[in-house]
Amino acid sequence: MDYHVSRRANLIRDCKSDGVDGLLVTHPVNVRYLTGFTGSSGVLLLSARHAVLVSDARYEEQIKEECQGLDVHIRPHTKTLNEATAEVLNKSGLKGVGVEADHMSIATLAALQDKAGKASYSPLSGRVEHLRAAKDPSELEQIKAAVGVAERAFKMFVALMRETDTEKELADAMEQYIRRAGGLKSAFAPIVAAGERGALPHAAPTNKVVGESSKLLIDWGADVGYKSDLTRTLKSPFPVPPLRKSKEERTGYPFDAVYEAVRQAHEAAVKELRHGAKAKDVDTAARKALTKHSPKGIDLNDHFTHGLGHGIGLETHEGPQLRQNSDAVLEAGNVVTIEPGVYLPGWGGVRIEDDYYITKDGCLRLSTLPHDPGAIG
């Protein structure tokens, strides 16, 4: 089955009510989704009668391999991409063309209006992204592969880390492990945050030595074309002598109590995951569980400062969003992260993140690493 052909047909069908007879897809990730083309310069003109990829000579051979059966317009190096796209548009005779409002620059739109002025252009938002949110079987397999790579990389990471390593050294090492485990590259710059650095949800790795802290947060993912995104928080990855514990380790909230509350929040959210669930309600379930399981004297939900999760696929962050201000309703085929986190300045953070495939009556956990912080290593 050629998934690219059926995706293009679905897109055309979805855009019928927009009053356009064609669509110009310019966002590279969306072009890839609809054609299989992985290069950086390509524009797809799509209608009921046309599917033309405009690119340049650097990609001529690659397109033959990746996009069999697709019409291709290779621009000469004397012409810009906009000029070549305008030529294809003029030749097509299309009257109303939808453009990707979230991605096309004002300069590109002006150039097309100038050089292919017979067509009128309608800004459309999120049409391809909406299709991308529901994964087909080939996409699910690739996300599963990305999760598998990430898990193998994590096992290398835990086996090989030393207490004298810095956050930066470990983050760099993780990128290597991801490649060694079969990934093309890291899905994003890994987060390795020791001790109180974990209080920064998106901590950039520093030269802090990890053996000086009694907890370590790692957020990483693999890119195999599709992506994975996982987080684990390790308790005392190294035996830390009491004298070397920093102030935050000695005086803060008990790690086990905070961890357990986050684990309960994660599980409460997973129970809500199914086709038809409101994304906002799943976020709420996690927050309620976090409050309920908070240690005495603190409401951990006050320190859960981001949304519960996000869709994942060709991009690390895509639809649907799971958060309070989301009106998304989950659909079978969505792949989403669940990642409740608690961030206590001066103490550190705990986050547990896994990737889930939404089904008709529940969900499938794609990752297998245990949540028990003692069982991970």
Please give the radius of gyration of the chain, using alpha carbons only, rounded to the nearest integer. 24
Cβ at position 199, least distance to Zn ion in Å: 16
Nearer to Zn ion, 24 or 312 (CB): 312
Q: How far is CA 20 from CA 12, 115, 124, 266, 322, in A?
A: 9, 19, 10, 43, 31
Nearer to Zn ion, 318 or 353 (CB): 353
| Total residues in contact with Zn ion, by rule CB under 5 A | 5
Nearer to Zn ion, 21 or 353 (CB): 353
Cβ at position 307, least distance to Zn ion in Å: 9
Report the b/e string of 238-256 with b at 16+ CB within 10 A.
Answer: bebeeeeebebbeebbebe
355 contacts Zn ion (rule: CB under 5 A): no
Q: Tokens 């005495």 sit at which residue?
A: 296
Query: Cα separation of 315 and 242, whole Å?
Result: 43
Cβ at position 288, least distance to Zn ion in Å: 21
Query: Cα separation of 85 and 106, whole Å?
Result: 15
Query: Cα separation of 272 and 360, whole Å?
Result: 12
- Looking at 125-133, 229-237, 273-281, 326-334, which segment touches Zn ion (CB under 5 A)? 229-237
Annotate 295-313 with DSSP letters as a single string: PTT--GGGG--S-SEEE-S
318 contacts Zn ion (rule: CB under 5 A): no
Query: Cα separation of 21 and 47, whole Å?
Result: 6
Cβ at position 206, least distance to Zn ion in Å: 18
- Looking at 98-106, 130-138, 265-273, 349-357, which segment touches Zn ion (CB under 5 A)? 349-357
Q: Tokens 């086709």 sit at which residue?
A: 275
56 contacts Zn ion (rule: CB under 5 A): no
| Identity of the residue numbered 293 | H
CB-CB contact of 277 with 330 (8 Å) = yes
CB-CB contact of 302 with 326 (8 Å) = no
223 contacts Zn ion (rule: CB under 5 A): no
CB-CB contact of 222 with 187 (8 Å) = yes
Per DSSP (E only), the strands in 191-281 are 191-194, 215-220, 222-223, 230-235
Nearer to Zn ion, 47 or 321 (CB): 321
Cβ at position 23, least distance to Zn ion in Å: 30
219 contacts Zn ion (rule: CB under 5 A): yes
Bridge-partner residues for 22, per DSSP?
Answer: 47, 97
Nearer to Zn ion, 264 or 337 (CB): 337
- Looking at 39-47, 63-71, 300-308, 350-358, which segment touches Zn ion (CB under 5 A)? 350-358
Nearer to Zn ion, 92 or 231 (CB): 231
- Looking at 73-81, 94-102, 211-219, 340-348, which segment touches Zn ion (CB under 5 A)? 211-219
Nearer to Zn ion, 92 or 337 (CB): 337
- Looking at 5-13, 120-128, 225-233, 276-284, which segment touches Zn ion (CB under 5 A)? 225-233
CB-CB contact of 124 with 100 (8 Å) = yes
Cβ at position 187, least distance to Zn ion in Å: 9
Binder among 12, 337, 342, 367 for Zn ion (CB under 5 A): 337
213 contacts Zn ion (rule: CB under 5 A): no
Q: Tokens 């810095």 sit at which residue?
A: 166
Report the b/e string of 154-163 with b at 16+ CB within 10 A.
Answer: bebbbeebee
229 contacts Zn ion (rule: CB under 5 A): yes
- Looking at 7-15, 74-82, 318-326, 335-343, which segment touches Zn ion (CB under 5 A)? 335-343
Nearer to Zn ion, 32 or 351 (CB): 351
Cβ at position 239, least distance to Zn ion in Å: 28
Q: Given the rule CB under 5 A, which residues bind Zn ion?
A: 219, 229, 231, 337, 353
